[in-house]
Amino acid sequence: MAVTVRFAPSPTGRLHAGNIRTALFNFLFARKIGGRFLLRLDDTDAERSTEEFADGIREDLSWLGLDWAEEIRQSGRFDRYAAAVEKLKTSGRLYPAYESPEELELKRKRQLARGKPPVYDRAALKLTDAERAKLEAEGRKAHWRFKLEQRDVTWDDLVRGRQHVDAASLSDPVLVRADGTYLYTLPSVVDDNDLRVTHVIRGEDHVANTAPQIQLFEALGAVPPAFGHHNLLVGADGQALSKRDKSISISGMREEEIEPLAVAIYAGTIGTSDAVAPHAGLDELVQSFDFAKLSRAPARFDGHELRLLNAKLLHALPFEAVAARLGEMDIDGGNDFWEAVRGNLGVLAEAKLWWRVVNGPIEPVIADAPLCQAAAKLLPPEPWDGETWSVWSSAVKEATGVKNKALFQPLRLALTASAHGPELKHLLPMIGRTRAKARLEGTAA
C-alpha cells in the first residue's frame, strides 16, 4: 500500500518551530519512502480558524520547501463526520450524556478524594429512556461519548516502541459537544481513513489520543494506521515554549532573513542523535532521516544555535547559490565581493551593508584625523589588488610611526564606518582609490 502521511495544523495561529518539526518529520519520512505528504487544515472550529492563518501556514511550508501533494479542509467534510456519528450511534458505540462541566468536575474531585483515578463513571449509560426524556425536557442538551471497549490497546510506535494502554483506565471520550460541534478526535480518524493515511506522525502531546482513536478506527470498520509520536520542543532553558513567543515563529525567522534551509536543518536535527550541522539541502536531510534517531527527551530550541547554524551555512555557500538573491549586488565582481564578505555574515541581508561599504556612499568615521590625512596622501595609484592594503598600510606605518591597532582601527573606521568587518585586504580594491581618498579626508563617498 502506498505510504500517505499528513500534517494537520489548525489554522488558528501561525506555524512555529514546534509544529514545523511535525510537518518536517512527515515530509522527510514521505520523501524517504516515496510516499505522499498531505496538508490537512483542521478548521472545524469556525470561530478561531481564519483564512489568514490558512494562508500563513501554506506560506511558511512553501518557504521551507515542504511541498504537499493535496490539501484537505475539515470544514468541507462535515457530512462525512455526520455519517460516522450515525454509524456509531447505530452500533451503540456513541451514547448521549448530560452532565454539565460543573457536575463532571465535582465527580472528578470526589473520585480523587477517594484516591480513585478520575475516570468518567458512565452514569449516562445507565439512564433509562424516561430519565433521558426528563433531562431533555429540562432543556439539557446531550453531548456524545464514545463507548470504549475496556481492553488493552497496543501499537508499535515508530518512535516510542511498543505501547500498551488499558482502555478501562480512560474516560469514554466526548466526540460531539452539546452544541453539535466535533472535538478533534473523530474528524481526524474519519479523514485519516478516507484519505488512506498509512502513518500518523505527530507530537507526543497526542499519545493519549491514540488508544481511543485506534478503537474508533475499528468501530468504523477501518484498519488503524501506524502511529509515531515525536518528542516536543522546550526552550534552551528546558522550560516549555510559548506559541506566542515570536522568536520561534516561522514568519519571524523569515522576516529576520534566516535561511529556510537553516530552519529546516535545525528543526530536523534538534532532539535527534544527528549533529546540528550544515547540510547541502533538504535531500540530505531526507537521506539521514530515521525515526530511530529521535530522542525520547525533549528537543531544545536555542535561537542562538539556529543563528550560528545559519551563519555556517552562509559562509559555505558559493556565489552562484546566492547571486539571484543578492539582487543589485549580482553584477561584475559579485563573486569577489561574496568571497570577501560571506565569512562575516549572520544573515544574508547583512551583505547589503557591505555592498554599501564597497560602493558607497557611507559617512566615514574619523577617529584620528592626522593619521587619516597622511594615509590619504600615501594611497598608491591604481590598479589595486590583494597586495595593496599591506603595501599601503606599511607605508603609512613608516611615515607616521603609528602601528598595530592604533593604525588599523582608524583606517578601518574611515574606510568602512565600522569597527569590524571583512578583511581590508579584500575590501580595499573594491572600494577603489577615489572613494578611499574621499573617506580618509572625511567626506561621505
**CA–CA dist 211, 164 (Å, integer):** 9
Contact 294, 159 (CB under 8 A): yes
Tell me how far, at minimum, the Cβ of 423 lies from ligand GLU, in Å: 49
Tell me how far, at minimum, the Cβ of 120 lies from ligand GLU, in Å: 22
Q: Which residues bind ligand GLU (CB under 6 A)?
A: 8-10, 42, 184, 188, 200, 202, 206
191 vs 368 by CB, closer to ligand GLU: 191
- Residue 193 C-alpha cell reads as 481513513
| Mutual angle of helices 51-64 and 17-33, in 10-degree steps | 60
**CA–CA dist 77, 123 (Å, integer):** 32
Cell 509544529 -> residue: 19
76 vs 333 by CB, closer to ligand GLU: 76
8 vs 348 by CB, closer to ligand GLU: 8
- Lay out the sheet containing 70-73: strands in order across: 4-7, 36-41, 70-73
DSSP symbols for 305-351: HHHHHHHHHHHH--HHHHGGGGGGG-STTHHHHHHHHGGG-SSGGGH
Helix, strand or coil, per DSSP, at residue 251: helix
188 vs 310 by CB, closer to ligand GLU: 188
227 vs 289 by CB, closer to ligand GLU: 227
**CA–CA dist 386, 429 (Å, integer):** 7
Tell me how far, at minimum, the Cβ of 64 lies from ligand GLU, in Å: 17
Tell me how far, at minimum, the Cβ of 213 lies from ligand GLU, in Å: 8
43 vs 259 by CB, closer to ligand GLU: 43
42 vs 157 by CB, closer to ligand GLU: 42
184 vs 319 by CB, closer to ligand GLU: 184
**In sequence order, which residues have a C-beta less than 8 Å from that of residue 400 and are 6 or more positions away?**
370, 371, 374, 375, 407
**CA–CA dist 331, 304 (Å, integer):** 33
10 vs 393 by CB, closer to ligand GLU: 10
Contact 301, 235 (CB under 8 A): yes
Tell me how far, at minimum, the Cβ of 202 lies from ligand GLU, in Å: 4
Tell me how far, at minimum, the Cβ of 189 lies from ligand GLU, in Å: 9
Tell me how far, at minimum, the Cβ of 197 lies from ligand GLU, in Å: 9
- Residue 312 C-alpha cell reads as 555556517
- Alpha helix stretches (DSSP H) within 4-128: 17-33, 51-64, 78-90, 101-113
Q: What's the distance, CA 126 to chain centroid?
A: 47
Structure letter (DSSP) for residue 16: B
Tell me how far, at minimum, the Cβ of 146 lies from ligand GLU, in Å: 16
DSSP symbols for 413-437: HHHHSSSS-S-HHHHHHHHHHHHHH
Tell me how far, at minimum, the Cβ of 7 lies from ligand GLU, in Å: 8
Tell me how far, at minimum, the Cβ of 190 lies from ligand GLU, in Å: 12
43 vs 172 by CB, closer to ligand GLU: 43
16 vs 342 by CB, closer to ligand GLU: 16
Tell me how far, at minimum, the Cβ of 9 lies from ligand GLU, in Å: 5
Is residue 240 packed enough to be buried (19+ CB in 10 Å), middle (13-18) or exposed (0-12)? exposed
184 vs 217 by CB, closer to ligand GLU: 184
Helix, strand, coil fractions of the chain, as percent rounded to 5: 50, 15, 35
Tell me how far, at minimum, the Cβ of 205 lies from ligand GLU, in Å: 7
Asked whether the CA dihedral 206, 211, 212, 214 is positive or negative, the reply is: positive
